[in-house]
Amino acid sequence: MAYLFTSESVSEGHPDKVADQISDALIDNFLAFDRDSKVACETLVTTGQVVLAGEVKSHTYLDVQKIARDTINKIGYTKGEYMFDGNSCGVFSAIHEQSDDINRGVDRASKEQQGAGDQGMMFGYATRETENYMPLALDLSHRILKELATLRKENKDITYLRPDSKSQVTIEYSDDNIPQRIDSIVVSTQHDEFGDDESMLTKIKDDVINIVIPRVIAKLPEQTQALFDSDITYHINPTGKFVIGGPHGDTGLTGRKIIVDTYGGKGAHGGGAFSGKDPSKVDRSAAYATRHIAKNLVAAGVADEVLVQVSYAIGVVEPMGIFIDTYGTCPFNMTDGEIAKKVSQLFDMRPAAIEERLKLRSPMYSETAAYGHMGRENEIVTKTFSQPNGESVTLDVELFTWEKLDYVDKVKEAFGL
């Protein structure tokens, strides 16, 4: 019997994502001037206010207020009528020095012996369902909101959009887990007040279905385009009106969208958020490393679907263990336990080794903080950072290194593929 599966996404203007982006902008600025910075910073955003809190160990000094304001303006909160804008909001910083009790478990005389920044378990996942090895429902949810944001910034075909929005896609699967069709799409987008409630809703529904969705479909591979038919159920701004939004409509906090950030409910999640954490925190670095493993395993043909788990104890160098689940999709005679043993030999999962392999001490994190940390494009960009004293640094930064398929040949050799 066919079944339905749903994933959601939220836009860069969603209050929780505003908080994530501010926290990760701080991470990038600390790392740009001091690669050894240890940072765990949280952000709260609400009507006209930003609160920064957390622990930092770094040799650099930053104008955290300016970084927060620049981030908010870049997202699009630039008007007083939003009741939250980068130029006029209050920014309160309660960032203080990192606890020595935590740091002693991480820093070692030898970098290779760096301990894990915390205990916990992390998961990585990959599937052949899409070209970027991501679950289809989440991939489509992200694509809808990216297109909506592009249209908002173009301010041409649709001129009333505000930054806050959410999407949700439900897919019908066959018994053998193959996507059959798109069952329903939900889009809620913040908007200007431009008429009576009924005319606004009619216009927004028409524009989402006839402008946004076709632009999304046009960028998809043919096999995914075929899943869109005339029987899709659309719920567009189902409350009827969405003028009040962003941090004025709902308080935002760092780390509240961990499923949006990862796999949309597919696979599993260890519970740890990513944004605001430097890579010594394995919640972040090991989650990236397990995605890298899972993606390379699937691309190499070890399985059509893979879940990878790794776990750590705070201050301990070696992981507690590696777990693999191929969901019965491994095409050759090897158990998941045997696969896990080979994976542990191929991939060094010590925290320092992960940082080195994935270049995680680079200021690459602002780009991760909206539209998902996984399934993104690996590319090199040039970024410039400035300090209050006028010093600036320009760096070439490689983004989304965990999405590289650089271990496929090694995996094939190890598994005799």
| Known binding-site residue numbers for K(+) | 42
Q: Give the angle subtended at the CA of 139 by the CAs of 133 and 142, to the nearest 5°.
A: 145
List of residues 6+ apart from 390 with CB closer than 8 A: none
**DSSP at 114:** P
From the annotation, which residues make up the binding site for L-methionine?
55, 98, 250, 281
Closest CA to 330 of 317, 320, 321, 343: 343
- Whole-angstrom Cα distance, residue 365 to residue 26? 9
From the annotation, which residues make up the binding site?
14, 16, 42, 55, 98, 164-166, 241-242, 250, 256-257, 273, 277, 281
Could you tell me whether strands 321-325 and 161-173 are parallel, antiparallel, or unpaired per DSSP bridges? unpaired
- Whole-angstrom Cα distance, residue 29 to residue 67? 8
Closest CA to 374 of 134, 167, 169: 134
- Whole-angstrom Cα distance, residue 375 to residue 353? 22
From the annotation, which residues make up the binding site for ATP?
14, 164-166, 241-242, 250, 256-257, 273, 277
To the nearest 10°, the Cα dihedral for 283, 289, 291, 296? -170
Residue in the structure block whose two tokens are 């990216």: 146
From the annotation, which residues make up the binding site for Mg(2+)?
16
List of residues 6+ apart from 31 with CB closer than 8 A: 37, 278, 361, 362, 363, 365
Residue ranges of E strands in 231-278? 233-236, 252-253
Q: Residue 396 region, left (φ>0) first, then alpha (ψ -120 to 50), else beta?
A: beta
At 117, list the tokens.
């920044």
